[in-house]
Amino acid sequence: MSAAARTNPPQVGKSVHGIGVACGLAAGVWLGAAEAPTKLVNSGLSPYAISLCMVAGVFTARWTVPTLLKGTRQVFADLAEHRHLIPIAILAGMLWAVANTLTVFAIRDVGLAIAFPLWNTNSLVGILWGRLLFGELKGASRRNIFKVVLGTLAIVVAAVMLGFSTIHSSGAHADRALGGVLAAIGASLLWGTMYIPYRKAYISGLNPLSFITVFTIGELGTMVALVLALDGGTKSTVFHSGETRHLLFWLFLGGFVWVIGDLFQQFATKYLGIGRGIPLSNTNQMWGLAWGALVFGELARTDAAHRLLVVVGSLVMICGALAVSTAVATEKERASMREALVRECARYDLDYDRVVRAYAGEVSTTAATSRAWWDYVILGCAFSVFAWLGIKAQVPALPMNLGWVGVLVAILLASAVAGAWVLWRRTKFS
């Protein structure tokens, strides 16, 4: 790296802020919808089995989406250039799998209404790690620090308010409440820590689409190990029960929806950093409540006080999201990020100019662009798995408002199209 690059490196940060905001908000919509299948927690499957089924859907999606958008040749070329990040991505997947399993225990023991706000405090954990390890908010103006910190706190407070709005129907078990709360807090700590590998990968120039393909190896491997060790081994119900097979499609679908949201979240983390990206994606609490209230009627018998919590909590969350999304990094803060890029390049002997272009979303011209025949095999296998599970699926015996299902699905699709269009126009999914 030249001395000029160290003292006057290319500008990064300002031009990608809008991309990160769009991705963070789209992530919230999709991650909120992905929580709906967790209502199957009382279907006869253990929390380990439910998490394994969701992770299987996640595994399928994490290979399908990158193959569809970029092709495996580009993914493998990217990973070959960043071999040092492969163990880090696997570790991140392991953290995600354990955290996801803890959330299922939390939902079972204290209900989604209480568990959701507790594990969404991961945004505060993320801000701490972002500041300590990557210099985020270093050199930021007082106004931006105020916006990010206060906006994040507002989102957390709003999540608590929205959670308490449905606490009457949480179905919590008093004898297991403490364990459920601890499980949700554990998930928060793990999910907040999981963003360290995310951020480290992206300041090294790795594409999020490449990162998630390795990430999912850690997810699936960890969940298989947990089921074998703690859920009956090879005799686990998930491997043998035909009575729950009709539920697998919905858990696979939940995992697939989660991946779309997580992919947007990863791009938000890349372009905004941990401290801004996580709070925006944590607006999923509001969308999760929308699914619970409008589709499953969770607020049908609530009193005026609970409905007021919903209104006020939603407004507070929107204000928090606005505060975070308008905290555009100043030149001093972007300078601290350039210092982090310099350190990363020096540590792993990376081409600084190339890393900066990747970080800014500029398309690499050296990666292979043609698709291999096995790309179509991967896509065909994924489609076949979902088709096979869909044929065997049955609509769960839960009262649902199909009209609101249609409205929320339309919002899901619209947010995905908008987020994908922004990414494609500016970065070609880089």
> Domain locations in the chain?
18-427
Question: Among 217, 195, 219, which residue's Cα sits nearest to residue 24?
Answer: 195
Using the predicted structure, report yes or no on whether residue 93 has a pLDDT greater than 80: yes
CA 352 to CA 338: how far, in whole Å? 10
Residue with tokens 């697939």: 256
CA 261 to CA 24: how far, in whole Å? 9
CA 93 to chain centre: 12
CA 166 to CA 382: how far, in whole Å? 36
CA 313 to CA 307: how far, in whole Å? 10
pLDDT of residue 414: 95
Asked if residues 89 and 214 have their Cβ atoms less than 8 Å apart, the reply is: yes
Asked if residues 204 and 123 have their Cβ atoms less than 8 Å apart, the reply is: no
Question: Among 71, 76, 23, 44, which residue's Cα sits nearest to residue 272?
Answer: 23
Question: Among 268, 257, 222, 228, which residue's Cα sits nearest to residue 30?
Answer: 257
pLDDT of residue 160: 76
Asked if residues 295 and 37 have their Cβ atoms less than 8 Å apart, the reply is: no
The two counts, helices (H) then strands (E), for the chain are 19, 0
* Residue 424 phi, psi dihedral angles, 5° rounding: -70, -45
pLDDT of residue 118: 78
pLDDT of residue 22: 92
Asked if residues 202 and 269 have their Cβ atoms less than 8 Å apart, the reply is: yes
Asked if residues 152 and 320 have their Cβ atoms less than 8 Å apart, the reply is: yes
> What is the rounded end-to-end Cα distance, in angstroms, of the chain?
23
CA torsion, points 217, 220, 223, 225, in degrees to nearest 10? Answer: -70
Using the predicted structure, report yes or no on whether residue 172 has a pLDDT greater than 90: no
Provide, rounded to the nearest whole percent, the portion of the chain with pLDDT above 70: 86
Could you report the per-residue pLDDT of 225-250, keeping only the tens digit for each? Answer: 888 888 877 777 667 666 566 777 88
Using the predicted structure, report yes or no on whether residue 38 has a pLDDT greater than 70: no
Asked if residues 209 and 429 have their Cβ atoms less than 8 Å apart, the reply is: yes
Could you report the per-residue pLDDT of 60-88, keeping only the tens digit for each? Answer: 888 888 888 888 888 888 888 888 889 98
CA 39 to CA 149: how far, in whole Å? 32
Asked if residues 183 and 114 have their Cβ atoms less than 8 Å apart, the reply is: no
* Residue 136 phi, psi dihedral angles, 5° rounding: -65, 145
pLDDT of residue 21: 92
**Ramachandran bin of 428, using left for φ above 0, alpha for ψ from -120 to 50, beta for the remaining angles:** left
Question: Among 119, 324, 77, 329, which residue's Cα sits nearest to residue 207?
Answer: 77
Mean pLDDT of 167-194: 74
CA 49 to CA 200: how far, in whole Å? 31
